[in-house]
Amino acid sequence: MKKLILLGLVLISYGCQQTAVIQEESVPLAEAPLPATLTAEEDHARLLAALNIEQLRRGADGDPDSPYAANYDEALANKRMASLPDLLTLPDGTPITSARQWQQEAQPALREIFSEDFYGRVPAGLPPVDWQLAAMVTEQLGEHPVLRKTLTGLVNHERYPELNVTIDAQLVTPQTATEAVPVVLVLSFPPALWERFRQQMPADQYESLRAQAERWKHQLLAAGWGFVEYFPVSVQADSGDGLMRGIIGLGNSGQPRELDDWGALRAWAWGASRVLDYLHTDNEVNAQQVAIHGHSRYGKASLVALAFDERFAAGFISSSGEGGAKFWRRHYGEQIGNIASSSLYHWMAGNFLKYAGPLTESDLPADAHQLLALSAPRPLFIGAGTEGDQWVDPEGSFTVAHEAGRVYQLLGAEGVRYEGEGYPPVNLAVLEGDIAYRRHSEGHTPGPNWDAFIEFWGRYH
């Protein structure tokens, strides 16, 4: 257990051509400028100046002795919740009383809000992605014979030749399958992170840690499913000084973002959707049964992908915290000032910073229950840990999931089905509804929740 907690803490800080996927055609630029070079601090200050903000409120501190220590007292957690937007009311105050209203009016309105003020807009005219099969091998993964395909998505960069962007992924399916299989698309931390662990740890400790962290692969194969490991940092770096490069930089011809331009979370979600494009061309995959999974910052990105791409059949969201399955308004653990800081602001649109400046959480035009509701009526599993995972508010995420269930019910599905009072006990899997929930006892890791997710999503096959 300690090894999984250690891994979680490290992670939180931190051949043959296939069918090409065509998006909107882009127009070549004449005399394109070189990519800009700004540090994260310089770019952060640039956005604050554009918003006329002199200073941001600081976030919570993980040090319990700090005057800004994170709050973990439930008695103080909900003092800002009175301003929470009603899930079944349109922004203009009109009640939402039908599935048609939700789908035709509420969904577009919420996606506009989340684009303008939270995660940013995907620019029009992004270049197409050409998927190539870099390698294909048969191998043994534990006791499972598998087919592994190494995939490379080449983003056309004729519009701005100064930047190259590729989407890196690996698809693994069971060789014994007699028909196309369900697949879980997993947003994974880069292989270089494991190499760093390998260099820093004794060999036996490294092998044990990696085996524990990758147990989910064997669990999925045992269920008869496949998986895709998609590496989001191949699409967009996880840093503010990388915003003038990657897919965000390519879309902006290497120049700094406008205030409503997309951040890394939306870019990572875009990359996941492009991997899904490829999966629709692969005969080994049941493309109608592709779930998405992400942990921590990638849990946030996975929720964004679910919200904007209805082709994903289900979601397994783990320890996603602020910006994911956690109320922004809830004063517990991580806070808005943490995400708006110069170390993490690149996840969000520039417009988001104003809510940690002259405006407050109470001024936000939407909150996490509305983000989760954009997954309805698809199966959604919300998970977290306890010891070592309080920062992401695992208890509060149950309230978010429960509230999002009102839209599931409106659409003829079922939200969280839990008969008890308060939060479900640690290690109890609440699986009966179309929104599932479990908080385990092993810290900041998704590992202990994989069995429960597999049982939950298995009902839909």
Give the Cβ contact number of residue 135 at 10 Å.
Answer: 11
What was the pLDDT predicted at 212?
Answer: 82
What 3 state SS string does 114-132 have? HHHHHHCECCCCCCCEEEE
The candidate with the shortest Cα–Cα distance to 293, out of 277, 312, 270, is 312
- Domain limits, the chain: 2-20+36-458
Question: CA-CA distances (angstroms) from residue 8 to 207, 219, 319?
Answer: 16, 20, 10
Please list the pLDDT of the chain residue by residue as tens digits (461 residues): 544 544 544 443 443 333 333 344 444 545 678 999 999 999 999 999 999 999 999 999 999 999 999 999 999 999 999 999 999 999 999 999 999 999 999 999 999 999 999 999 999 999 999 999 999 999 999 999 999 999 999 999 998 999 999 999 999 999 999 999 999 999 998 888 888 888 888 988 888 888 888 999 999 999 999 999 999 999 999 999 999 999 999 999 999 999 999 999 999 999 999 999 999 999 999 999 999 999 999 999 999 999 999 999 999 999 999 999 999 999 999 999 999 999 999 999 999 999 999 999 999 999 999 999 999 999 999 999 998 899 999 999 999 999 999 999 999 999 999 999 999 999 999 999 999 999 999 999 999 999 999 999 999 99
Question: What string of DSSP letters covers 31-59?
Answer: SPPPPP---HHHHHHHHHHHTT-S-PPP-
Model pTM? Answer: 0.92
The pLDDT of residue 31 is 67
Q: Which CATH class is domain 2-20+36-458?
A: alpha beta
In terms of Cβ atoms closer than 10 Å to its own Cβ (0-12, 13-18, 19+), residue 95 is: exposed
Residue with tokens 């003092």: 79
C-alpha distances in angstroms, 460 versus 16, 312, 379, 411, 434? Answer: 34, 13, 8, 17, 10
pLDDT at 198: 86
Contact 321, 333 (CB under 8 A): yes
Encoded tokens for 214:
């990758």
Place of tokens 């517990």: 332
